[in-house]
Structure 1
Amino acid sequence: MTDAPRRALARTTLAGAALACLAVASAAGAQTTNNAPTAAAARTEGPATRPWMNATLTPDARVDLLLKEMTLDEKLQLTFGYFATSADWLKTPTKNWAYPKDGLPGSAGIVPGIPRLGIPNQWQTDAGVGVASQRGPTPRLRTSLPAGIATAATWNPEVAEAGGAMIGNEAYLSGFNIMLAGGMNLLREPRNGRNFEYGGEDPLLAGVITGHEIKGIQSQHVVSTMKHYAFNGQETNRFTMDHRIGEQAARQSDLLAFQIANEVGQPGSVMCAYNRVNGAYACENDWLLNTVLKTDWGFKGYVMSDWGATHSTSAAANAGLDQQSGWAFDRSPYFADALREAVNNGHVTEARANDMARRVLWGMVSVGALDTPVKGDRATTIDYAAHAAVTRTDAEEGIVLLKNTPGLLPLAKTARSILLIGAHADLGVLSGGGSSQVYSYNAPTNGLVVPDAYPSGFPGPKLYHASSPMKALQARTSATVTYLDGKDVAAATAAARKADVVIVFGEQWTGESLDVPDLNLPDKQDALIAAVARANRKTVVVLETGGPVLMPWLSNVGAVLEAWYPGTAGGEAIARVLTGEVNPSGHLPATFPASVAQLPRPKLEGDPKLDRDSHPMGNYDIEGAAIGYKWFDRTGAKPLFPFGYGLSYTSFAMNGLTAAADGKTVKASFQVRNTGAVAGKTVAQLYVAGAGWEAPKRLGGFQKVALAPGASETVSLTIDPRLLATYDTTTHGWRIAAGDYKVMLATSANDVVQTTTVRLAAQTLDKGGK
């Protein structure tokens, strides 16, 4: 990516809201924590007495000064974290668990600080879409962004960064300085229950979008944790699964996504995953942590474990784990007394113990967590109105128009009656479950507007945000808008025959720890949609899903919108798109298959009945780096909807593609023109093709362009050299082969509008891809 996207998107409306977030955080600076002095006090004591508080020094220099003052016990204290929810929030408290001193109720955890040195506690909060609470009677109510996959569907780095700044601000004002956000796992398995948290199937798109979210979070003096590193592609047997993959495929897929996000966002922390990779647990995997992350990429921050992902003391520490998180989800407090003993007896060197502490401190210092410490929960100062504007913009730009019969959408002003069916569209919009769950600040009762339909515990509750599509539509149309829950199919079809337009809301609830059994809408919703469509050809389907789904009724409905889990202001966003107040501009960040038979693994790998000590293997070498659209290109299968696909209420033309070699990369330019009657945004996509790759083509660049009717813009993009190269496992570096490369201008992975050819000389890149 170049600076061009920022120039092209400067016209977006989110800038003011994002600046409002930053202004609130800036005004909140120089506050105290329970254990740390104010920034003003620290300046009074230093830099003569506390030279590490001199903010003009580099983070490296400041950490060096801190380490000189610390005892070994103090250094090791930074490597061990406690789960910090309160006992009354847990139906069955974890064995050996006790509520930690200074913990915040309902939070993810705490790592005690060093008060005498001005090192604050590390107060940790879930997760990727906002300040999340553990399930309990009095959850913390905050603003929720749309699902991560929805933000990826915006293809808009500025939207992602503004959203990150918003949730980072709410974390800061809620008393947290660590946010367990930055989900990065590529969508290898469409049935994965956590796909909604992540950034889709392509390493460039996922890396850029998630990297900008991380950057936004850390602009608020909050450490962001890029996760789940790595190859955490499913929830079935997530604690035991051993994913096998060759190094070249690994480097050109999931690891490239993490690498790009690391470069863009510079996260203070990386969270290692539950699963094994090529035999070793991700949190004690020397190749993943020491070789790839810390050596090849030069990562300076710290590696924290996922909650329950630590399995040893010396082996984990020596393999690169810097912090055991969330005790007591693990079998033992491996990084408490046992780590101190391991250092004392030489199984873990003191140099390694210093490195562990250094990395934790670097992560905190680099985001300003020492200079601008948090001061407890000050949610009363959160600007919820400004934050609602940020999350609504994210939802609107992420909604994908998949089908539209001419004249149906946007909703005609002549419609006298509109019938809404299903998914509690009279009350709210669906949210994904698990540790990322944010409870709506605008909900009347403990964040719930619909009684919990998943009362059996985690990953519930099944929650709907209090943003009613029905009420939002009623405010925007003179038509009579009514609602039926759809449980009585005969009643729904009878009502559909009488309505001018019918909008069926289809839902697919997914959550952490659960994979979906297939890609059909559950609870006979497909049959409901088919019946309603037979009764009224003017049927619109709005999907609230965590990822791709099948659509056996597609040919019979008039229009389809993919709204994902659209967040706190999702009902407003959906209504604004349906009525044309907002022109849809989302594009798919993942391929929608026509059937599970098209997938690399038609049957999900891993037997969920295996016990914790068993470890089934998953063969990621089936597709290797050919994930998503690359797999479909390679196999010739035709998807239901391709990666990058998305319609608009206007039309666009792209032409004038030119491309030329420029050192180790390729620079391309082209023109985009709005040929329709209304303003809109589109996503211009560049794909590249070379010989000997994992698939016929790769996404090489993209830019979202906003244009008035008749307006045009020249777009220039630079292709990352790694997207022209293959990873050489012999030299452990990237190599560009000499030869001709196709550069393709496209509107989706399946819709190429113009192609040109560039000849490149043979070249080598370093391990960082330069």
Structure 2
Amino acid sequence: MNERQPEDPDARAREIELQMTDDERFSLLVGVLGKGDLWPLRDERIPPDVSMSAGYVPGVTRLGVPALMMSDAGLGVTNPGYRPGDSATALPAGLALASSFNPALARAAGEVIGREARSRGINVQLAGSMNLARDPRNGRNFEYLSEDPLLTGVLAAESVSGIQQQGVISTVKHFSLNCNETNRHWLDAIIDPDAHRESDLLAFEIAIERARPAAVMAAYNKVNGSYAAQNSVLLNDILKTAWGYRGWVMSDWGGTPSWECALAGLDQECGAQIDAILWGAEQFTDRLRAAYAEGRLPKERLSDMVRRILRSMFAVGIDRRGDPPEPDMDAHNKVALQIAREGTVLLKNDGTLPLASVERIAVIGGYAQVGVPTGCGSSTVVPPGGYAEVIPIGGPGLTGGTRNLYLLPSSPLEELRKQFPSAQIEFDRGLTPAEAVLVARRADAVIVFAIRVEGEGFDSADLSLPWGQDEVIAAVAAVNPNTVVVLETGNPAAMPWRDSVNAIIEAWYPGQAGSRAIAEIIAGKVNPSGRLPITFPVDLSQTPRPELPGLGEPVGTATPIDYSEGADVGYRWFARTGQRPMFPFGHGLSYTRFEYRDLVVAGGETVVAGVDVVNAGNRAGADVAQLYLIGAPGGRRLRLLGFERVDLKPGQSRRVSIEADPRLLADYADGAWRITPGSYSVAVGASAAAFAFTAEVELAGRAFGR
């Protein structure tokens, strides 16, 4: 693989931009959507010999500037009809990856995506999905990582780094507050600016400073009255000035409402054909050129837009790529399997799991005889061999056609038969409680698979399971107390039956190898180690917005959402309001037992904590030690300060050291981070609601950052 050595990307971008004509400059500012299932027209701006993808931007051959070939997303290289017959590794949901609390695994996932993108000629991967999970009904939460800025920022950074190390540009998205899908183009996210810096923007800040993503994708929604792509405070003041970001800002597809976005910091319009539908015209073609000719777009700004794009190309090295190596798909499947293993969360276990000597097992519902579900929308990946089945559902808006039940092979039923070869396993589709009960009564143990379709473009109306699944589970548990429920969802579920079943597993959307991981955990071949990256409420009354604004309104209805919780997202909201959730952030059970010993904490500029983690059980397993701030001068405050995942054999112990990012101890106000001097309380434990030890530490006061 012959690749040229890197040069100074800033100097080279300046040199190349100065040689460009205005036509060449403007050509880099517009990305067009390729022909696919949802966009059946081939755009004449895409050359006939160019493979279709989510976005195409022409290069400048005479100056060595490559064309940009863009593809979704963060769960694999997607193919919604662009390249017939193409497939890619279908990784588990972002929430499953985050449940591992394993940065190394996030990097491995990014490497898988980067290698497979590069092998297809893709050089921009629209990955890095990292909006905080502020609402458990958000249809895209499955793509994102968590409700916590530290966990989200760290894992997103590792994934982005894994992609870009393969010579493929990665974005981070959606900047910012794309936390609901209902009427997302017309949603106005209202938030206190300082609280925004302490939460969602802090997650982006951490990811950007750690991974240096080459591009940032603006969100569809407004933020405090201005569209994200036209929000100078977000793009110019914070991203490019305060953080010194040197890459480029692209729009989401159809997310450029006017040419003035260029003045506010947007550098590239993507999916321009959709803008023509939503806003009446493409914005960075004729309209931006006219503004330039009339002097409304300064030449310096045009040059800056182009140089940012060029700089990112050269920094990642997409112009230096040799022939890509053939991806090792078997190795990539192992990564998908490991994410599913480490990301599956055992929520409840009254002694049923792991299943031991059982002669008769009933498997009920969830299309377990076919495959496992995946979320729908732009992140949906066609797995090797294709989908096991696609069941159309539909819905309003541009993404209604992508709302389907996509089932990935393999079958959980068949994987359970492999794990329990001597057991008699009977399957029922779970169509009605009465039929399911007949099978459940005959079994020594029952495994019910429960699913929910969630995806881009729509939020769930509530947290119930569709198609009468809650009623089926309740009926089955009433006749067989030895019932295990496996949830395959992209969000928390209400679980009115939770006290009646013996075990609950949250498998999320577990990807192409998820069936095997689920069966291995049920059989005890794999010790569950996932920890919740989002809080599971008892019901919606515990959330900041029990009634979701705009739900049920026609597409196009302007919808303000007041994020009144500010920086107190998820577990922080529960601590602030004194409520007890169904399952807290960080929660997850194991088949072994862990203890924490000898907590030592030091202060000064920040908090540094050390603790011994001990496997006090009789099985090898993994624990996630979590360090929290629980009190600060002025009152109680709950924030995750750090975490570390450790794998331990029975009786083994390991010393874990965690140093807190000072921003997690500070308040943002008056343009700077400020730590108030005084005594701070910290705790180490297994979740945001289960602390083993607490300690007091003195911190010096200081102001820092911007």
Q: TM > 0.5 between the two? A: yes
1:464 aligns to 2:407 (yes or no): yes
2:32 equivalent in structure 1: 82
Contact 1:144/1:568, CA 8 A, preserved across alignment: yes
Contact 1:693/1:726, CA 8 A, preserved across alignment: no
Summarize the Cα distance change of 1:192–1:85 in structure 2 as closer, same or farther, 3 Å threshold: same
Q: CA deviation at 1:455?
A: 5.5
1:640 aligns to 2:579 (yes or no): no
Q: CA deviation at 1:580?
A: 1.3
Distance 1:736 1:509 in 2: 43
Contact 1:585/1:680, CA 8 A, preserved across alignment: yes
261-270 or 700-709, larger mean C-alpha shift: 261-270
Contact 1:97/1:327, CA 8 A, preserved across alignment: no
2:417 equivalent in structure 1: 474
Distance 1:62 1:527 in 2: 64
Q: Which SS does the other structure have where 1:722 is aligned?
A: helix
Q: CA deviation at 1:105?
A: 5.4
Distance 1:231 1:139 in 2: 35
Count of residue correspondences: 697
1:228 equivalent in structure 2: 174
Contact 2:432/2:472, CA 8 A, preserved across alignment: no
1:317 aligns to 2:249 (yes or no): no
Distance 2:255 2:634 in 1: 34
1:63-102: CA deviations, max 9, x gaps?
233223222322221111100124xx34x757x9657225
Q: CA deviation at 1:693?
A: 7.7
2:436 equivalent in structure 1: 492
2:679 equivalent in structure 1: 740
434, 440, 452: which one pairs with 2:391? 452
1:68-147 matches, within 5 Å, as: 68-86=18-36, 89-90=37-38, 93=40, 100-101=46-47, 107-135=53-81, 138=84, 140-147=86-93
1:178-577 matches, within 5 Å, as: 178-313=124-259, 315-331=260-276, 332-372=281-321, 381-406=326-351, 408-412=352-356, 414-442=357-385, 447-454=386-393, 457-477=400-420, 478-577=422-521
Contact 1:530/1:553, CA 8 A, preserved across alignment: yes
Write the letter of the residue equivalent to 2:689.
Answer: N
Distance 1:374 1:214 in 2: 22
1:629 equivalent in structure 2: 571
Q: CA deviation at 1:616?
A: 2.3
Distance 2:635 2:452 in 1: 32
Distance 1:365 1:417 in 2: 61
Distance 1:148 1:419 in 2: 30
Distance 1:103 1:567 in 2: 32
Write the letter of the residue equivalent to 1:734.
Answer: W
Distance 1:482 1:106 in 2: 45
1:47 equivalent in structure 2: none
1:649-664 matches, within 5 Å, as: 649-662=591-604, 664=605
Distance 2:301 2:175 in 1: 21
Moved over 4 A (4+): 96-99, 102-106, 692-695
Distance 2:209 2:552 in 1: 36
Summarize the Cα distance change of 1:579–1:509 in structure 2 as closer, same or farther, 3 Å threshold: same
1:580 equivalent in structure 2: 524
Unaligned runs of 5+ in 1: 1-28, 31-38, 44-54
Write the letter of the residue equivalent to 1:747.
Answer: A
2:690 equivalent in structure 1: 751
Summarize the Cα distance change of 1:137–1:158 in structure 2 as closer, same or farther, 3 Å threshold: closer
Q: Which SS does the other structure have where 2:109 is aligned?
A: helix
Contact 2:52/2:83, CA 8 A, preserved across alignment: no
Contact 2:633/2:680, CA 8 A, preserved across alignment: no
Unaligned runs of 5+ in 2: none
Write the letter of the residue equivalent to 2:73.
Answer: A
1:726-769: CA deviations, max 9, x gaps?
001x2x010000110011101100001100111111111112xx
Distance 2:350 2:606 in 1: 42
Distance 1:216 1:693 in 2: 41
Contact 1:135/1:461, CA 8 A, preserved across alignment: no
279-288 or 531-540, larger mean C-alpha shift: 531-540
**TM-score in terms of structure 1 length:** 0.88
699, 703, 712: which one pairs with 2:653? 712
Summarize the Cα distance change of 1:695–1:76 in structure 2 as closer, same or farther, 3 Å threshold: farther
1:727 equivalent in structure 2: 668
Q: Which SS does the other structure have where 2:499 is aligned?
A: helix
Q: CA deviation at 1:681?
A: 0.2
Q: CA deviation at 1:529?
A: 0.5
Write the letter of the residue equivalent to 2:627.
Answer: L
Distance 2:633 2:560 in 1: 28
1:661-684: CA deviations, max 9, x gaps?
24x211110100000001000110
**TM-score in terms of structure 2 length:** 0.96
1:676-715 matches, within 5 Å, as: 676-691=617-632, 696-715=637-656
Distance 1:250 1:181 in 2: 22
Contact 2:272/2:283, CA 8 A, preserved across alignment: no
Contact 2:633/2:676, CA 8 A, preserved across alignment: no
Distance 1:487 1:346 in 2: 65
Q: CA deviation at 1:459?
A: 2.4
Q: Percent identity, aligned pairs only?
A: 46
66-75 or 216-225, larger mean C-alpha shift: 66-75
Contact 1:132/1:140, CA 8 A, preserved across alignment: no
Distance 1:102 1:707 in 2: 56
Distance 2:555 2:374 in 1: 30
Q: CA deviation at 1:461?
A: 3.1
Summarize the Cα distance change of 1:374–1:735 in structure 2 as closer, same or farther, 3 Å threshold: farther
Summarize the Cα distance change of 1:693–1:184 in structure 2 as closer, same or farther, 3 Å threshold: farther
Contact 2:631/2:682, CA 8 A, preserved across alignment: no
Q: Which SS does the other structure have where 2:284 is aligned?
A: coil
Q: CA deviation at 1:337?
A: 2.9
1:157-216: CA deviations, max 9, x gaps?
001110011011111111100111111110111100000000110000111111111111
1:238-293: CA deviations, max 9, x gaps?
00111111111100010001111112221100100110001100001000000111
Contact 2:667/2:674, CA 8 A, preserved across alignment: yes
Distance 1:268 1:647 in 2: 38
Q: CA deviation at 1:138?
A: 3.6
Q: Which SS does the other structure have where 1:665 is aligned?
A: coil
62, 80, 83: which one pairs with 2:12? 62
Contact 1:103/1:123, CA 8 A, preserved across alignment: no
Q: CA deviation at 1:552?
A: 0.8
Q: CA deviation at 1:135?
A: 4.7
